[in-house]
Structure 1
C-alpha cells in the first residue's frame, strides 16, 4: 500500500500540483523497506541491500547538513520583485557553476524544501553564495512579502526595528559533477525569465577563468534571454566583467541579447533595490545575532566535489559497512545462541536486528568517521567579512574603456519573441565547422523550440554542430 501511494503521488500531474503531498508520502519509504524485509526475510533482503544501504547513508548525511540553521544571511528585493539571498559559506567551500541548493525557511513552512540555482562562482573566493528567488508560488511570495514588510518596518525608525527571523536551512550543493560546458569553444546560453540564474554563475565562472588564464575556457559566449518586463534586467547589475577580469575582451567575446515581450507598468519594489537586510537569530543587528562573536554558521559541503570530499565519502561508506558487519555478527552470535529454539529467531526480531545493525553502522561508525575527519564540521563558522562593503566601494570606481555591468552590454529588443531559426542560422555560419554547446533553461516550450533548431541545423551538411543541454532541476 505504501509503495502504491508513493507511485501515484510521483506521477507528474500530482507531483507538480501537490508537491507537499508528494514529499510527505515519500517519507513512507521507511515503512516500505520494513514491510518488504519482514515479508521476504533477511536473506532475500540482502540481495538489494547494497543500494538501500547507500540510500540510507545519503539520507543520514543530508539530515546532518539540513539540520544546521544558518545565520548571517542577507536579503535584497530587486526592482522586478526577485529576492536575492546571500548565504554564508565557509572558506574552501567548492561548487560547480550549475549547482543548486535546497532551501527551507521554517518560518514559512517546516516541510517545504525548494531548489534554487547558484548565481555565483566558487572561483571568486567569496564568503557567500548567491541565489535568486522569483515569487511565483505561495512559498516564494510569502518569503518576498516577509522581507518587504521588514524593510518597510525598518524604514520607520530604530524603535520599530525587529527583523524577520529568517531561520534558514540549506542542503547541497547538488547538480552536475563537472563543468561540462568548458569542453566547448563556443557557448549559446538561452534563458527564459528566472532561467538566467544558472547562466549568471557560468558567466562569473568564465570571467574568473579568463582572469586566471585557463586555456580550457570558452572564448565566445552568446546569451539570449527572453523576459516579460525590462525590470527583470536588474539581476545583471551585480556582475561587472571588467572588475572580475579587466582584460576579458582580449580573450572572450561576450554578447547579450535580451527580448522584452511585455513591458509591465511601474512596480512597487524599486524603493527596496538599494536596501540589504541582514538576518540573524534575534531582533538585533548582526553583531548581536552572533552573541558577541564575529562569526556565523555556514553551509557544510557534504557532496563529493573535490578529491578530499570523495575520500571522505569512501571512508564513510567503508566504515558504515564494517560497522554493519560487526554489529550483525555480534547480534547473530549473542542473541541467536541465547535462544534454545531449533527454529532460531522469529522473523520480526531477526529483521529488527538487521535494521538495527544498519542504523548503528551508519550513525555510529559512519558518523564517527565524519567527526574524526573534520572535528569542526558540526560547528562550521566563518568570520564575518566586509565583502559587500568592499564590493560597494569597487562598484563606484570607473573602469576605463569597459562597460560597467552586464546590463550595459545588453542589446534590448522590445516586442517580438526571439526568432530562433534566424538566430541559429547566423550562429551556424559564424561557428562553421566547430562544436557549439547550447544550454537552455526555461519553460518547456522554450526548450523544445531550441532543441528543434539544434536538430535542424545538425542535419545540414558542413555546418556547425550544436550540442543541446537542458539545464533543470525538475524531479
Structure 2
C-alpha cells in the first residue's frame, strides 16, 4: 500500500476510534448523571436501589458497598481510562497544529466560548457558565427533592410520637440531606486539581485553567457541610441531646469524626479567601495540607459505603499526587540562568529529548535551600520543538520566595550549583493557534512569559517546518524601562534560527511609569548576564512522567491496576475476616474501622501500582535518546536574531495601550486574543472581546492569580 495512503488510512482510523471512545465516555457520564439526578427520588430508593443491591450483594463487598462501587465509583474511573486511550491515539497530532479556518459549526462553538464577566466568578465562557449552572441545578434538585419527600412525611402526629416538635424533626432531616448533597459536590472537588488528569485533558481543560473550578466547588462543599454541622448542633441543643457531639458510635455515623473533619475543612477554607491567600500565602499553602485530615475523618464519619460516592475523584487525585511525589524525589539538572536588571531570571534546565509539551505549559518548582515544602507554579518559556534538550522558566520577583531565589542566583558570587526539584510539565494536550489569521497577545508585567513560549514555538513552525504562521501582535505593558529587557528572552539562549524573516512579529511595548526613555547606559549599569552552574553528575535531565503526552497508556495501566488491586484485596479481606465477624458474632464490625481499612488498602494499592508504573516508564524513557547538550555559560545570541527582534519593537513611554483600538481595528476573519496579567487587564480585554462589535475576536485568558 502507498505510504501516503497508509498514513491517511491510519489517521482516519485513529479519528474514528477517538470519536467512538468519546461517544462511549459521554454515554458513561450521561448514565452517571442520571443516577445522581435520580438519587433523591422514590423510584431510585424503592425500585432501582433494591433491585441493584439484590444483584450486587456479595460476601466480598456487602450489601451497600458493591452497588455503590458499581454505579458511583466505577464510572469516573472508566472515563479516566477511556480518556487515557483517547489522548494516546491523538498524541501524534499534538505537535502539529492544523490550520483549520472557522466554518459554520466552528462559529457556533466559538459563540459559546465568548467571555463573560460574572461577579464572584470572574471571567468565564458561556460553556463554563452553562455547566456551572447545571451543576448548581443538580445540587438544588437533589436538596429540594429530598426536602419535599421527607418533609411530607413529617406531621404533627409523627413528631409528637418521637417527642419532637415539627420544626425540630424537619431540622434533623434537613441536616442529614445537606450532608448527602455535600457528598455529591465533594465528588467533583479533587478532579480539577489532579494535574496530570486524563479527564481534564480529555475535556480540553488545562491544570492552570481548572483551578477556578476547584475554588467554586470548594466554596459550595464547605457551605453545605458547614450548614450540615450547624443544623445538627442547633437540633441537639434544642432537643437536649448536646452530648451527641462527643459520641463515636461503633456502627453508623461517627459524630466526633465528622466534627474533626469539619474543623479541618473550616481552617482550610478560611485561608482560601483572596485577601488572606495573597497577604499570607505560606499560611494558605500549609493549611491546605489539612485536606488529608478532612478526607480521612470524613470517611470515618460516614463509612466507606457513602464515601464510595466521592471516592473516584479522590482516588485519581491520590494517584496523581503520589506520581508527583516520585517525580520530585530527584533534583533536576540546572545548567544556566539569564539574570536581567529588572529582578527577573530565566532558569535553564536540561531535559530528555523525548519530553514534549505544548506552549503555555507550567511546571511546579521547589528549591529546598529556600523552603523544603513550598512549591510554586511557573510558566515554561521554552519550546520543546525549538529547544529539544533544555527547558526554561522565567521568574520575576513577586514575593518572599521569589525574592530569595533571585537574590541567590543574581548575587555577585552565585552558588556553583543549585538543587531544584520539578513537577510537570502540565499543559494543554494540543493548541490551535495556527487556525487564526492574527494572534493578539496582551500582557502586563511578567504576564509576557507564556507568550514567549508561544512565539518560540511559532519560530520553529515558521523557520524549521516552513509552515505559514499567523501574524503576531504582542502588546506588552511594563512599569519601568528595565522591564523591557524581558522581551530579549523571546529568543532562547541557544538553538535560535539565523533569522526571523518568516515570522511576522510586531511588538508594541508600553512603559507606564516613565515619561521618557532612560539615559544611555553607563559602564557600571547592570546589564543582562548569564550565570553557569555545575550540576551534580547524579542530577538527571527532566524526563517525561506519567500523564505526559508520551505516557498516557502507562497512566491508564497505573489507574486500572491500582483500582483492581484495591477491589481484589479488600474483597478478600472482607470475605475472610470482616464477613465472618458480622455473621457469626453478636457484634457488627466497626464502621470507622472498616473505613480505615479501606483507606489503608487504597493507599497501598496506589503506592504499589504507581511505583511499578513509574519505574517501568522511567526505564522506558532511559532507553530513549538522553544525549545532553551542555550549554556554554557565556554563549551569546547571534547578532542577526537580536537585530531582527529589535526592529520589531516599538516602545511608548508614559502611556497605556489603547486596547480597543488594537482589537476593534483588526479586520482579519479570525483573531486569537490571549491575555495574561493583572485581573483588571484581563477583565478589560474580556469585556472588549465580549462586545457584539468583535465577532472575529476569540478570547483566551491565562492567569495564575486565582
TM over 0.5: yes
Question: 3-state SS of the aligned residue for 1:74?
Answer: strand
Describe how 1:300-311 pairs up with structure 2 within 5 A: 300-302=543-545, 304-306=547-549, 308-311=550-553
Deviation at 1:342, TM superposition (A): 4.2
Alignment match, 1:286: none
Q: Does 1:466 align with 2:697?
A: yes
Alignment match of 2:660 (pick from 405, 421, 425): 421
Q: Structure 2, unaligned stretches of length 5 or more?
A: 1-262
Contact 1:319 1:369 in 2 (8 A): no
Deviation at 1:92, TM superposition (A): 0.9
- Looking at structure 2, the residues matched to 137 and 269 of structure 1 have their Cα atoms a distance apart, in angstroms, of 27
Describe how 1:38-437 pairs up with structure 2 within 5 A: 38-149=300-411, 152-153=412-413, 163=415, 165-213=417-465, 215=467, 218-240=469-491, 244-245=496-497, 248-250=500-502, 252-263=503-514, 271=526, 273-280=528-535, 289-290=536-537, 296-302=539-545, 304-306=547-549, 308-336=550-578, 339=581, 340-375=584-619, 382-388=626-632, 392=636, 395-396=637-638, 399=640, 404-427=643-666, 430-431=667-668, 434-437=669-672
- Looking at structure 2, the residues matched to 416 and 166 of structure 1 have their Cα atoms a distance apart, in angstroms, of 40
Seen in structure 2, the aligned counterparts of structure 1 residues 65 and 268 have a Cα distance that, compared at 3 Å, is farther
Q: Does 1:453 align with 2:705?
A: no
Using structure 1 for the length normalisation, give the TM-score: 0.83
Seen in structure 2, the aligned counterparts of structure 1 residues 391 and 347 have a Cα distance that, compared at 3 Å, is same
Deviation at 1:204, TM superposition (A): 0.4
- Looking at structure 2, the residues matched to 136 and 48 of structure 1 have their Cα atoms a distance apart, in angstroms, of 37
Deviation at 1:248, TM superposition (A): 4.9
Q: Give CA deviations for 1:444-468 in whole Å, capped at 9, x if unaligned.
A: 1211222222233xx23xx651111
Q: Give CA deviations for 1:147-189 in whole Å, capped at 9, x if unaligned.
A: 233xx237xxxxxxxx265211111112333214333221101
Q: Structure 1, unaligned stretches of length 5 or more?
A: 155-162, 281-288
Deviation at 1:91, TM superposition (A): 1.8
Q: Give CA deviations for 1:313-360 in whole Å, capped at 9, x if unaligned.
A: 111110111111121122213322564524342223211210111012
Contact 1:77 1:269 in 2 (8 A): no
Contact 1:72 1:88 in 2 (8 A): yes
Deviation at 1:54, TM superposition (A): 0.8
Q: Does 1:29 align with 2:291?
A: yes
> Which segment drifts farther, 376-385 or 342-351?
376-385
Contact 1:146 1:164 in 2 (8 A): no
Q: Give CA deviations for 1:105-160 in whole Å, capped at 9, x if unaligned.
A: 111112221111111100014321111111121111111112233xx237xxxxxx
- Looking at structure 2, the residues matched to 435 and 270 of structure 1 have their Cα atoms a distance apart, in angstroms, of 44
- Looking at structure 1, the residues matched to 338 and 523 of structure 2 have their Cα atoms a distance apart, in angstroms, of 14
Question: 3-state SS of the aligned residue for 2:430?
Answer: coil
Alignment match, 1:440: 675
Seen in structure 2, the aligned counterparts of structure 1 residues 472 and 214 have a Cα distance that, compared at 3 Å, is farther
Deviation at 1:277, TM superposition (A): 2.8
Seen in structure 2, the aligned counterparts of structure 1 residues 62 and 249 have a Cα distance that, compared at 3 Å, is same
RMSD: 3.0
Seen in structure 2, the aligned counterparts of structure 1 residues 439 and 416 have a Cα distance that, compared at 3 Å, is same
Question: 3-state SS of the aligned residue for 2:533?
Answer: strand
Deviation at 1:21, TM superposition (A): 1.5
Contact 1:107 1:167 in 2 (8 A): yes
Seen in structure 2, the aligned counterparts of structure 1 residues 15 and 243 have a Cα distance that, compared at 3 Å, is closer
- Looking at structure 2, the residues matched to 2 and 124 of structure 1 have their Cα atoms a distance apart, in angstroms, of 47
Contact 1:73 1:279 in 2 (8 A): yes
Using structure 2 for the length normalisation, give the TM-score: 0.57
The structure with the largest helix share of the pair is 2
Q: Give CA deviations for 1:362-412 in whole Å, capped at 9, x if unaligned.
A: 1112321332333266999955423447964xx34x54xx76352342011
